[in-house]
Amino acid sequence: DTAVSQTPKYLVTQMGNDKSIKCEQNLGHDTMYWYKQDSKKFLKIMFSYNNKELIINETVPNRFSPKSPDKAHLNLHINSLELGDSAVYFCASSQDAGGGELFFGEGSRLTVL
């Protein structure tokens, strides 16, 4: 059983398109995150949700819109894709927002042409 699963694993798309990445966790955790990893492996937090409520929204373009239908799911929708959006996007979860271990998905590699 995969604890944190993301789909799709790979996306290749043209500039200007819209795409979504889905994430689900079966750990019963309250908090979920989206991180972006660039080509130099740098990991930057984008969003954090605790019990479906947004608690962190870093300086991310509003073309990125997270949605949490329930605490086990956190999806990421990206509008009007740009070349600079090419990266690996990681979903993660933690027991709560109080500073514990993060459990990561396998990542979704987005390539914008």
Partner 1 sequence: AQSVTQLGSHVSVSEGALVLLRCNYSSSVPPYLFWYVQYPNQGLQLLLKYTSAATLVKGINGFEAEFKKSETSFHLTKPSAHMSDAAEYFCAVSGANDMRFGAGTRLTVKP
Q: Note the residues at the interface with partner 1 (CB under 8 A).
A: 4, 31, 33, 40-43, 45, 48, 50, 55-56, 90, 92, 94, 97-107
Which residue in 21, 28, 37 sits closest to 103, CA to CA?
28
To the nearest whole angstrom, how small is the minimum distance from the Cβ of residue 13 to partner 1?
19
Nearest distance in Å: CB 71, partner 1: 15
Min CB(50)–partner 1 separation in Å: 7
Do residues 111 and 11 make contact, with C-beta atoms less than 8 angstroms apart?
Answer: yes
Identify which of residues 82 and 96 has a Cβ nearer to partner 1 in the complex.
Answer: 96
- What single DSSP character describes residue 51? T
Measured from the CB atom, the residue of 46 and 112 that comes closer to partner 1 is 46
CB of 35 to partner 1, least distance (A): 8
Residue placing its CB nearer to partner 1 in the complex, 56 or 72? 56
C-alpha torsion angle, residues 58, 39, 87, 80 (rounded to 10)? 80
- For 77, counting Cβ atoms within 10 Å of its Cβ (0-12 exposed, 13-18 middle, 19+ buried), the class is middle
Task: Tell me whether residue 17 or residue 97 sits nearer to partner 1 (CB atom).
Answer: 97
State how far the Cα of 68 lies from the Cα of 34, in Å rounded to an integer: 11
